[in-house]
Amino acid sequence: LFMSILLFVGNSTYLDDHGPPPQKVLPFPSQVVYNRVGKCGSRTVVLLLRILSEKHGFNLVTSDIHNKTRLTKNEQMELIKNISTAEQPYLFTRHVHFLNFSRFGGDQPVYINIIRDPVNRFLSNYFFRRFGDWRGEQNHMIRTPSMRQEERYLDINVCILENYPECSNPRLFYIIPYFCGQHPRCREPGEWALERAKLNVNENFLLVGILEELEDVLLLLERFLPHYFKDVLSIYKNPEHRKLGNLTVTVKKTVPSPEAIQILYQRMRYEYEFYYYVKEQFHLLKRKFGLKTHTRKPRPRPEFFIPSPLETEEPIDDEEEDDEKWLEDIYKR
């Protein structure tokens, strides 16, 4: 009889009265990591996640560390341990290069991320570090108080054309390491880091979207992870929420000369190869789920055109360092 009671878990009044409470039924996946790339709209998404976590009851785990993306082996182990022991379902977010949980014996979570045209991302960061956004007094605030005045007002063209460290490699090799990982070679501009980043996108990321098509990114996140992102687009489009974006646009941005932009393209050629790879995969995914991509004309490769760095809507962002079977297959990776 005792064994029968133990086995009859489903409807046992005995267990209801005397046993442990029924175990929480977790959605799948119940472990999600958003290792957000700086100046790629991540603050917009985090603000949305704060609303969504209250609405849907998942555990949003954020980090106050914004300037340490590269970790020692011990730091990786400690962070993975802390993340893995968080109450599920959780979504962890931090500016940090890709972490391989399985390397340290942990369960590999589902990763998501968003990237942006590399030159636009660089310019946004360059001016944000100097002049902040529209939230401060007198319509803008100084973002980096310790920055010397001659550095703060350094002309962007001078920075690029005269090869200042901030405007040259390895500082410009920024997006790929977020997907390549913690290996030292991930920080070296080249084919090795590029190919490893592509491999991780294919094997470990549920979705990598592009900021220029953020609404479609949110639509797909709602489709793939409804227990986290249900109703996200309606919240994003809410006028009260959109007002916040108007306060966080980077100020005093200027467009570099065509010559300077061409030099940036040459220095960021691996970043652009990765960006176009991700963009192509994202558009394939959109077509698979019936979303159309509205483009005026096919854009040529970077060496043949000059974009307007101000054409991308500026979402809020943080300060950052210097068909169902398909879904099942993705989740089983």
- Write a three-state SS string for the chain: CHHHHHHCCCCCHHHHHHCCCCCCCCCCCCEEEECCCCCCCHHHHHHHHHHHHHHHCCEEEECCCCCCCCCCHHHHHHHHHHHHCCCCCEEEECCCCCCCHHHHCCCCCEEEEEECCHHHHHHHHHHHHHHCCCCCHHHCCCCCCCCCHHHHCCCHHHHHHCCCHHHCCCCCCCCCHHHHCCCHHHHCCCHHHHHHHHHHHHHHEEEEEEHHHHHHHHHHHHHHCHHHHCCHHHHHHCHHHHHHHHHCCCCCCCCCCHHHHHHHHHHCHHHHHHHHHHHHHHHHHHHHCCCCCCCCCCCCCHHHCCCCCCCCCCCCCCCCCCCHHHHHHHHCC
Which is catalytic among the residues 95, 140, 241, 294? 95
Give the length of the chain. 333
Tokens 């192509």, residue located? 280
Taking alpha carbons only, the member of 107, 111, 62, 103 closest to residue 85 is 107
CB 94 within 8 A of CB 115: no
CB 60 within 8 A of CB 248: no
User: Exposed, middle or buried, 318 (CB in 10 Å: 0-12/13-18/19+)?
Assistant: middle
Whether 95 sits among the annotated catalytic residues: the reply is yes
Task: For residue 34, report the phi and psi dihedrals to the nearest 5 degrees.
Answer: -115, 90
Q: Which residues are catalytic?
A: 95
